[in-house]
Structure formats: structure tokens, C-alpha cells
Structure 1
Amino acid sequence: MEKAFAEFLDRDAEVERFLKISETQHGFASIFYIRTDGLMSAYHPDFLVATAGKVYIVETKGNDKMNDRNVRQKQTATMEWVRKINSLKPEERMNRVWEYVLLSEDNFYALSANGATITDICNINKVSMSQLTGNLFS
């Protein structure tokens, strides 16, 4: 799926640039979270994708992993990381709003096959604190 997503990004005219995050080469993208067993761990999302107005932090996931408890822990930590980035001055965050996207295999293939752009896909699959906490006003 990651290869297909990268090829999709390469073809999408809305994408200004993207990066496949490497654990060993992109330390700036290490997000620390508490695993369900109580231990701290580092999480590295799959992609950074820049469009004209946004930077999307995209995690691609197989359908069977979407409801995993550790995936939820990673989402919470990443949403806090994104909140901190968005609190910086615009010039310190590439003059863009940052968003976190959790993209399932089924959603990616269905949306991309039907002509969706990266913006369409990210708007449909972006993670919000309300989703994570179950609180409408988070």
C-alpha cells in the first residue's frame, strides 16, 4: 500500500512535495507515545505530504490494524505533536496548517480509484481530537 500511495502522490498535481519517512534518517519525525503495555516507544508516521495550504502527516494502515489500541495511542500522541506544530508562527511551519491523517487500505484504494485528490482523501480521513476522545468539543 505504501508504494501505491507514493505513486499516487507522485501523480497528484495538488502535491507540491512529499517525503516517505525513514526511522533512521528522519529523527525530526519521531513521536513518542505510551504503548498499551505502559512502555514508551517511538512512532514514525509513513509520509509527510505538502500541498499549497497544508502539510499532512499520513499514516497508511492495513484494514486489520485500524482499531488496534496501540494505533489509538499513536494517534493521540501525534495529535498533540500536530497541535504544537500549529501553535508555532506560520513561517516556522512552512506557512501551512498541519493535519494528521490515518488512511486505511480500503479507503485509499476506493477513493483513489474514483478520482479523489490528496486533499479529498485527507479531508475524509483526517484525525480529530473529538474522534479520539469521543468528546464533541475537544
Structure 2
Amino acid sequence: MVRESASLEVSKCVYTRMGWPSRNGGLERAFIHWAQADTQVLAFCKISENRHTFARLRYVKDDGLPAFYSPDFLVRPQARCTWSKPKAKNKHPPQRATEKSKPRWHGVERINNLTEEQRGGPPWHYVLLGEAVG
């Protein structure tokens, strides 16, 4: 369920439309446009923390409290699978520190420890994208 005004019709996803946050969602919107247009991208999907619980990882924050982490997108380029997290360059330092503590690499490592058949093919990678990436 997405708003038409904050979504794009896509053909490389199991969903027919892919949405972005209507407030401050410009970077995610640009990412969806890029993934849809790039010929190297075979498939991609925006992760919903509530609907896609398979992509939710548990971890312990620096303060010892349990938390969850989900990537923003799963992307299937021709030779690998990728978790992607677009981030605006104007994020202030506390958010960057929080980002570093998330188990992004650990989650990809766990997937890559599976057999090729269990993980669905090629190795996985984590990519943190900033606005400057063109």
C-alpha cells in the first residue's frame, strides 16, 4: 500500500509500485528511479520493517539494549545480491554513530556463510550510499 503521489510504477520488483517517504524521501525516490533504469539491476525491493521480517536483524546497541535493524532495499545486480541503505549527507553525527553500530556487515556475513543454494546464488554485499554517489 503506497500513495500514488509518492510512488513509482516498477517492473523489477514483485510489487507493481514502489513508494518512498512523502517527507524527506528524495534520496530513496532517486534510488528507486536509478534501480529501475539501470540495466545491471535485475531486481530490487524496498524493505518494509513491518512486512519483511525476514530481513530484520536483532542486535545489541552500545548501551546494552536490544534493537532491530533492517536495510532499506534489497538489490539483485547481475553478479551479486546487495543490501542498500541510502543516507543523506546532512545526517548529523549521532545518526552516523548509530549507523556504525548496526549489524549490517554481520548480517551479510551470516548470509554468506550459507551454502550458495541456501542463499539463492551469488554472495551478498552491504552498500551504504550517500548523496554524492552518482
Query: Residue 43 of structure 1 aligns with which residue?
Result: 69
Query: Residue 118 of structure 2 aligns with which residue?
Result: 92
Larger relative contact order (CA 8 Å, sep ≥ 6): 1
Q: Any conservation in 2 of the 1:33–1:73 contact (CA below 8 Å)?
A: no
**Considering only aligned residues, what root-mean-square deviation do their CA atoms show, in Å?**
1.5
Query: Residue 7 of structure 1 aligns with which residue?
Result: 33
Structure 1: where are the runs of 5+ without partners? 112-138
Residue aligned with 1:24, SS: coil
Residue among 17, 22, 30 paired with 2:43: 17
Q: Any conservation in 2 of the 1:31–1:43 contact (CA below 8 Å)?
A: yes
Query: Residue 116 of structure 1 aligns with which residue?
Result: none
**Alignment-mate amino acid for residue 98 of structure 1:** W
Indicate the percent of aligned positions where both proteins have the same amino acid: 36
Query: Structure 1 length normalisation: TM-score?
Result: 0.71
Residue among 52, 56, 71 paired with 2:99: 71
What is the total number of aligned residue pairs between the two structures? 106
Q: Any conservation in 2 of the 1:53–1:95 contact (CA below 8 Å)?
A: no
- Aligned equivalents of 1:21, 1:41: Cα separation in 2: 17
Query: Residue 26 of structure 1 aligns with which residue?
Result: 52
Residue among 60, 66, 78 paired with 2:86: 60
Distance change in 2, residues 1:66/1:52 (3 Å)? farther
More strand by share: 2
Distance change in 2, residues 1:66/1:90 (3 Å)? farther
**Alignment-mate amino acid for residue 21 of structure 1:** I
Query: Residue 10 of structure 2 aligns with which residue?
Result: none
- Aligned equivalents of 2:110, 2:70: Cα separation in 1: 17
Q: 1:66, CA displacement in angstroms?
A: 7.5
Query: Residue 134 of structure 1 aligns with which residue?
Result: none
- Aligned equivalents of 2:101, 2:129: Cα separation in 1: 16
Distance change in 2, residues 1:66/1:103 (3 Å)? farther
Structure 2: where are the runs of 5+ without partners? 1-26
Moved over 4 A (4+): none
